[in-house]
Structure 1
C-alpha cells in the first residue's frame, strides 16, 4: 500500500533538510564556525553590558545577516564546484561575489557592534574611573597588584626564581618603589616622599645583601614598580 504524504509531513521534512544544511555548514565551513563563535561572544557581551531594546534588535539582525550570507556563500560555492571541475572566469566571479556578500554583512555587524558596545564601554569606563578616584587607597592597591602581575609575567619569561624570591626582576623592589610613588602621589609631602624613598632603598639593598637578587635584577624591579605605578596613577588621576 502506498504511503500517503501529508502537507505536515512535507513541512517537517523541509525543516529537517534546513537543519541538516545548517549543521553541514557548521561542520564543513571554518568561517561558519568563526561566525558562530562571534555570535556567542556578542550574546555574552550583551548580557555583561545590559544591552536591551532597539540595540539588541540591531545586534540580532546584524548577526543573523552574517549567518545568512555565509550559508548562501556555502551553497553557491557547492553549486559552482559540482557544475564544473575546471577553472572558469564565471565560476570565479560567482564565488568572489558570494564572498563579497559575506564580507559586507560582517563589516556591517562590526560597525553596529562598535556603535552599541562603545557607548556602553565608555559609560562603564567613566563609572570605573569615578569609583577609583573616590577611593585612593583601593586604587593604589589595584596598581600594586598590576605591578605584581607584571613581575610574574617577566619572571615567567626568564623562567628563573619565584614570584617574590630571586630571578629577574626583583618583586620586593618593584612593590617597594611602587608604594613609594603611590604614597608620594597621595601626600604630596616632601618629607614623606624622602622617608618612603629611603624605605624602598633599604628593601632593594636587603635583596642584594641577602644574595637573593643581583643589582641588575633589583634595578629592573625598582624601575618597573616606579614607572608602572606613576603612569597608571597619572592616567587615573
Structure 2
C-alpha cells in the first residue's frame, strides 16, 4: 500500500537506497568514489560553488544508479526469462549510468584539477626527468622480471597468463616513463588511464586474475621508478 505519512515515505526511500547498495556493487563503488571526492574537496578547500557542483554531479550519478536498479527489477518481474527487449531495456538504463558517470568525471576534473595538478607537477619536477636510456633499460628489465615471475609460477604461457601480467607491467612501465619524461600532469593522467585500460582488458579476456594484473602493474611502476632514481643518482654523482 502507498504510505500515507511522510516518515513512512522516507523510510521506503531509504529502504530502496539500502537495497540498491546491498545488491549492486556499482552503487557501492559510486558511494566510495563520492566519499573520496568529497573528502578531497574539503581537504583542498574548494569554493562553495565548486563544492555544490561536485555534490550535484555525485547526486546525479547515484540517482542514475537507483533508476537503473529500479528498471532492472521491473524488467525481471515482467520478463523473468531472457528476452531481447528486456536486455535492451537494461542496456539503455546502464548506458544512462555510464553517461552520468562520464559527465561527473569531467566535472570532477574541471573542479579539482586546478588544485591537484600543480602539486602533481611539483612532485614530477622534484623526481626529475627520465632519460631515454633509462626508459629503454626500464622496459628491458620489466620484461626480464615478468618472464622470471612467469617461470616461477609455472602457469600460463610466455605471452598469455602466468604469475604476472606482462601487458600490465609494460603498459605501466611506459606510462611511468612518459610521465617522468614529459613532466606534464595531464599527459601522465592519460597515460595511466590507458595503462589501466590495457590491464583491464586482460581481465575481460579472462587471461589473468586481478592479483596477476596488480603484480604486473606494480612491477612496471616499481622497476621503472627504481631505474630512474638509479640513473639520477649516477648523474648527480658525476658517473
Q: TM-score, normalised by structure 1?
A: 0.51
Q: Deviations over 1:41-69 (max 9, x none)?
A: 10111122111222111111110000000
Q: CA deviation at 1:99?
A: 0.3
Q: CA deviation at 1:10?
A: 1.7
Instruction: Specify the alignment match of 1:88 in structure 2.
Output: 83
Instruction: Specify the alignment match of 2:36 in structure 1.
Output: 41
1:17 pairs, out of 3, 12, 29, with 12
Deviates more, 1:15-24 or 1:88-97: 88-97
Instruction: Specify the alignment match of 1:122 in structure 2.
Output: 117
Return closer, same or farther for 1:224/1:76 CA change in 2, 3 Å cut-off: closer
Q: Deviations over 1:5-56 (max 9, x none)?
A: xx9x521111110011101111111010000000001011112211122211
Instruction: Specify the alignment match of 2:64 in structure 1.
Output: 69
Instruction: Specify the alignment match of 1:184 in structure 2.
Output: none
Count of matched residue pairs: 139
Q: Which runs of 5+ in 1 are unaligned?
A: 1-6, 133-153, 159-222
Q: CA deviation at 1:225?
A: 5.5
Q: CA deviation at 1:129?
A: 8.2
Q: CA deviation at 1:123?
A: 3.4
Q: Which one has the largest radius of gyration? A: 1
Q: CA deviation at 1:228?
A: 3.9
Kindly indicate whether residue 231 of structure 2 is the aligned counterpart of residue 227 of structure 1.
yes
Q: CA deviation at 1:97?
A: 0.7
The CA distance in 2 between the partners of 1:90 and 1:224, in whole Å, is: 54
Instruction: Specify the alignment match of 1:189 in structure 2.
Output: none
Return closer, same or farther for 1:127/1:98 CA change in 2, 3 Å cut-off: same
Q: TM-score, normalised by structure 2?
A: 0.51
Return closer, same or farther for 1:121/1:229 CA change in 2, 3 Å cut-off: farther
Kindly indicate whether residue 55 of structure 2 is the aligned counterpart of residue 51 of structure 1.
no
1:76 match: secondary structure: helix
